[in-house]
Chain A
């Protein structure tokens, strides 16, 4: 049976400082495992983009504490796995799925071209989102992104994004 170790588990509101705290914790843990700089930077980039997406775009449900932001970092023999969840308005699902499906169809060069297309045409919103986060995660991690949307009520769903970073090429 595949061995999976939980490195970090977080459930609750995400502030900017909390994201910094989780990033520092991840860096310290991956240092302890003596991962190379490339693996660490890939995990770092995926964590920043996914957690900042929650920080900037989460749609919290007032009075409901069952669907707060959730983050897990796990290690198995081959991958470092990130799982990131937050509540979103159902009206945003179509656009999110559209972008996720598009990046999953593209190869590395295609992702670079798509990133270039967005960055040269898009404007950064007042929240600081440039629409680049998901594309950047796919580009950096070089793996397909798994996702689910679980309906909470008529207005909200719980969005989970699963990201994998290969750390052991001998297991391929």
Chain B
């Protein structure tokens, strides 16, 4: 299956879903003018990924999926879609695939850390919270 790559813009995040290495990354800033138009294709890609890749795996060959979220800011409409994306991954988890969710945040940015904690609580799953030093 083809990977999904969306170039970042001033108002939208970089998206790179790599089905070969099972690494899924969303990073940057999210305040799209058309939030539905931006996020719906990502959710559609995940549905296809489930149908074309994960559902073909045997019981002894389940995937280890790594999700890296490196957001600097997202508005409330985007938060709804980030949640929907993670809920898709939780469906994969319930089918026996292992999931690791890494939430990266600027170590001075309490707001983005707290947003991550709230989303982890909403999907009832533990995240790895990884601070990034502004100078690193």
Residue from the set B35, B75, B76, B83 with the largest chain A CB neighbour count within 10 Å: B76
Binds B, one of A77-85, A96-104, A115-123: A115-123
With contact pairs A37-B109, A119-B122, A140-B111 given, residues A128 and B83 touching in the complex (Cβ less than 8 Å): no
A130 touches B121 (CB 8 A): no
* CB of B48 closer than 8 Å to a CB of A: no
Residue from the set A41, A45, A49 with the largest chain B CB neighbour count within 10 Å: A41
Instruction: Tell me, rounded to whole Å, the shortest Cβ–Cβ distance linking B77 to chain A.
Output: 5
With contact pairs A128-B77, A132-B77 given, residues A16 and B111 touching in the complex (Cβ less than 8 Å): no
With contact pairs A41-B111, A42-B111 given, residues A124 and B77 touching in the complex (Cβ less than 8 Å): yes
* CB of A70 closer than 8 Å to a CB of B: no
| Those of B80-130 within 8 Å (CB) of chain A | 80-81, 83, 106, 108-112, 118, 121-122
Q: What is the total of A-B residue contacts with beta carbons within 8 Å?
A: 63
A128 touches B10 (CB 8 A): no
The interface residues of chain A lying within 8 Å CB-to-CB of B111 are 38, 41-42, 45, 140
Instruction: Tell me, rounded to whole Å, the shortest Cβ–Cβ distance linking B116 to chain A.
Output: 13
The interface residues of chain A lying within 8 Å CB-to-CB of B108 are 36-38
Beyond known contacts A41-B73, A52-B31, A130-B76: 18 more, CB 8 A cutoff: A20-B10, A36-B108, A38-B110, A41-B112, A48-B31, A48-B75, A52-B77, A116-B122, A119-B79, A120-B83, A124-B35, A124-B36, A128-B36, A128-B77, A129-B77, A132-B76, A132-B79, A133-B76
Considering the chains assembled together, what is the distance between the CA atoms of A107 and B17 in angstroms? 38
Instruction: Tell me, rounded to whole Å, the shortest Cβ–Cβ distance linking A42 to chain B.
Output: 7
Considering the chains assembled together, what is the distance between the CA atoms of A128 and B75 in angstroms? 11
Residues of B in contact with A, size category: 20 to 34
* CB of A58 closer than 8 Å to a CB of B: no
Instruction: Tell me, rounded to whole Å, the shortest Cβ–Cβ distance linking B110 to chain A.
Output: 5
Which of B31, B32, B77, B122 sits near A130, CB closer than 8 Å?
Answer: B77
Which of B34, B83, B106, B112 sits near A119, CB closer than 8 Å?
Answer: B83
Closest 9 CB pairs of A and B: A132-B76, A128-B35, A41-B111, A136-B76, A130-B80, A128-B77, A16-B33, A37-B108, A130-B77
Q: Residues on B close to A: CB < 8 A? A: 10-11, 31-36, 73, 75-77, 79-81, 83, 106, 108-112, 118, 121-122
The interface residues of chain B lying within 8 Å CB-to-CB of A128 are 32, 34-36, 77
Which of B81, B109, B118, B121 sits near A124, CB closer than 8 Å?
Answer: B81
A44 touches B109 (CB 8 A): no
The interface residues of chain B lying within 8 Å CB-to-CB of A20 are 10-11
